[in-house]
């Protein structure tokens, strides 16, 4: 979503863009600038920057999986998660994806440098890092003891979609939603446990990733009759559902933003979110925060959000700061500083 929407709005600003997968061949000489996404997958980036002299920026999307790996993951995976450091764990996961899922490791250098050193190498060579919030950047530099140039590019919503005719759907009237990929980090299972056999109609909308099929099956097995599962929805269909519902919950173990929370709030849902990550940078005091490990905390936050009227100031806050149009403008600003070699006018730590 972040890649597609950023590209779409950059094109409206006159930027010529190709979206290329990491495992595809790139003729680097065709481009003035490369833009990579997701620095926690350095094996996908490292090979490209060693082959090319083209300047590049990185949207960090710096998600921290450690809390989930150590606190909530069960079985041998949880044991390994508690035994290894974050970098070691991500290194092992990359090797497993290669062996189990056939995800080719694109850069042999990654195997030599390891996970953390590869991330540091990328950050040092990047013209700019483009975190989604100030807190994300702070977390990154604190963890890796770096001070790279950066410019904040917020996540956003597609505000143009609400200019289309939208309608309320009776099925979702006063419902509670949870929109997102179904996986342990998103914590749908604890949400189900907190709302099972209540008067709430909870709709869980999304698909499991290939490595989370068992988690998805466990969610369905534990869900009572008031819990409903829907396949992934997009565009106007999803915004109709948001507009009809009362509360959106994303009780994750970590979120940089939670795009579905932004979208739901813009469409009039009160939102319940995790306090872990960068959510407070976006939602301030407009959201209800819950402890993802505490079923009672999740239920109390849902109750409070459901009973409260929607604050229109939240919608104004999102429209003023968090649209893909705004994200594209900030991205283009960073591009221009790289190509004009004027990084000093972008953000920098004090």
Domain 159-321 in CATH 3.90.78.10: no
Q: HSE-up of 216 (CA within 13 Å, CB side)?
A: 17
pLDDT of residue 71: 62
The residue assigned the tokens 């094996």 is 43
Residue among 295, 292, 293 at smallest CA distance from 279: 292
pLDDT tens track for 133-190 = 999 999 999 999 999 999 999 999 998 887 777 888 999 999 999 999 999 999 999 9
Domains 2-156+323-345 and 159-321 share a fold: yes
Residue among 302, 292, 105 at smallest CA distance from 202: 302
Contact call for residues 286 and 313 (beta carbons, < 8 A): yes
pLDDT at 223 over 90: yes
The Cα–Cα gap between 50 and 45 comes to 9
Exposure string over 48-77, b if 16+ CB within 10 A, otherwise e: bbeeeeebbbbbbbbbbbbbbbbebbeeeb
Contact call for residues 57 and 338 (beta carbons, < 8 A): yes
User: Could you say which architecture CATH assigns to the domain 2-156+323-345?
Assistant: 3-Layer(aba) Sandwich (3.40)
pTM for the model stands at: 0.86
Average pLDDT in the 107-126 region?
A: 86
Q: How confident is the model at residue 349 (pLDDT cuts 50, 70, 90)?
A: very low
Token representation of residue 128: 């700019």
Q: Where are the domains of the chain?
A: 2-156+323-345, 159-321
pLDDT tens track for 14-39 = 999 999 998 898 999 999 999 999 99
More confident residue, 287 or 210: 287
In Å, how far from its chain's centre is CA 218? 23
The Cα–Cα gap between 266 and 1 comes to 17
Average pLDDT in the 51-80 region?
A: 76
Lowest mean pLDDT among 31-40, 103-112, 241-250: 103-112
Percent of the chain with pLDDT over 90: 73
More confident residue, 200 or 88: 200
**Summary mean pLDDT of the chain:** 89
Other CB atoms closer than 10 Å to residue 82's CB: what's the count?
13
Token representation of residue 85: 């450091």
Token representation of residue 181: 């990929």
pLDDT of residue 159: 86
pLDDT at 292 over 80: yes
pLDDT of residue 348: 46
pLDDT of residue 114: 84
Spatial strand order of the sheet with 128-129 comes to: 34-37, 56-59, 128-129
In 3-state terms, the chain is what percent helix, strand and coil (to 5)? Answer: 50, 10, 40
Other CB atoms closer than 10 Å to residue 149's CB: what's the count?
19
pLDDT at 123 over 60: yes
DSSP label of 170: G
pLDDT of residue 280: 96
Average pLDDT in the 241-246 region?
A: 96
More confident residue, 107 or 337: 337
């Amino acid at each position: 979503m972040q890649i597609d929407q950023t590209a779409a709005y950059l094109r409206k600003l006159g930027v010529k863009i190709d979206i290329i997968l990491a495992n595809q061949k790139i003729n680097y000489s065709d481009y003035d600038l490369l833009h990579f996404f997701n620095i926690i997958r350095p094996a996908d980036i490292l090979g490209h920057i060693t082959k090319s002299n083209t300047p590049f920026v990185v949207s960090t999307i710096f998600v921290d999986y450690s809390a989930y790996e150590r606190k909530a993951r069960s079985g041998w995976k949880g044991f390994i998660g508690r035994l290894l450091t974050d970098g070691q764990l991500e290194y092992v996961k990359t090797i497993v994806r290669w062996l189990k899922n056939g995800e080719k490791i694109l850069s042999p250098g990654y195997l030599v440098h390891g996970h953390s050193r590869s991330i540091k190498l990328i950050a040092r060579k990047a013209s700019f890092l483009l975190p989604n919030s100030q807190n994300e950047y702070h977390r990154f530099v604190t963890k890796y003891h770096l001070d790279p140039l950066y410019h904040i590019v917020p996540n956003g919503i597609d505000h143009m979609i609400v200019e289309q005719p939208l309608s309320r759907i009776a099925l979702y009237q006063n419902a509670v939603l949870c929109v997102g990929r179904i996986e342990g980090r998103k914590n749908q299972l604890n949400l189900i446990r907190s709302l099972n056999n209540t008067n709430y109609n909870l709709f869980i909308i999304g698909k499991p990733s290939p490595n989370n099929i068992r988690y998805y099956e466990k969610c369905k097995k534990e869900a009572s009759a008031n819990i409903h599962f829907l396949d992934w929805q997009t565009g106007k269909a999803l915004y109709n559902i948001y507009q009809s519902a009362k509360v959106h919950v994303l009780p994750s173990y970590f979120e940089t933003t939670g795009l579905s929370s932004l979208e739901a709030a813009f469409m009039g849902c009160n939102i319940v979110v995790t306090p872990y990550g960068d959510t407070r940078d976006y939602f301030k005091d407009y959201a209800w925060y819950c402890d993802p490990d505490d079923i009672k905390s999740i239920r109390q936050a849902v109750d409070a959000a459901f009973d409260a009227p929607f604050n229109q100031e939240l919608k104004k806050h999102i429209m003023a700061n968090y649209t893909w149009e705004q994200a594209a403008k900030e991205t283009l600003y960073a591009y221009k500083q790289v190509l004009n070699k004027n990084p000093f006018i972008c953000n920098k730590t004090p």
